[in-house]
Amino acid sequence: MMDPSGDAEMPMAVVVLPILPDMEESWRRFTQDLLDDRLGEYEALERYLGIRRVRIYLVRMSRWDVILAYAEAIDPAEAFRGLMASENPFACWLKEKITELNGCDVNGPRKRSSPELIFEHPGEVGGS
């Protein structure tokens, strides 16, 4: 299957992270650092983890703002496990920055349960 840009579709994952108060500008600087000073390291980590595309959105909500990170990868769950287990200096810096910016220890144990699926549609159009 192809997406509108003509690329073959890949498995994807979406992560939603809170933005701590007064940290929006720090998030912007962090993403700019990734594109400028640390781009080579970032691209190498993406290749190693099998990540093909990442998009990061700032979502403004009435009570708080969040970061919505969208990633396409060969195996998104394995890419996430690989990042969490990595001791690569750049991966450690990345995890440290994310922890600093959202207030959650990305290396720590999950304190909340996994999301509960409450609706799914197979995507096939029904007959008439």
User: DSSP letters along 3-61, please?
Assistant: -TTSPBP--EEEEEEEPPTT-HHHHHHHHHHHHTTTHHHHHHHHHHHTEEEEEEEEEE-
Confidence class of residue 75 from pLDDT cuts 50, 70 and 90? very high
Q: Check pLDDT > 80 for residue 64.
A: yes
As a CATH number, domain 12-102 is 3.30.70
pLDDT at residue 118, rounded to an integer: 81
Question: Average model confidence (pLDDT) for the chain?
Answer: 86
pTM: 0.76
Quick one: residue 71, left, alpha or beta (phi over 0 = left, psi -120 to 50 = alpha)?
A: beta
Residue 67 DSSP SS3: strand
Domain ranges, ordered by start, for the chain: 12-102
Longest dimension (CA), the chain: 57
* DSSP secondary structure letter of residue 128: -
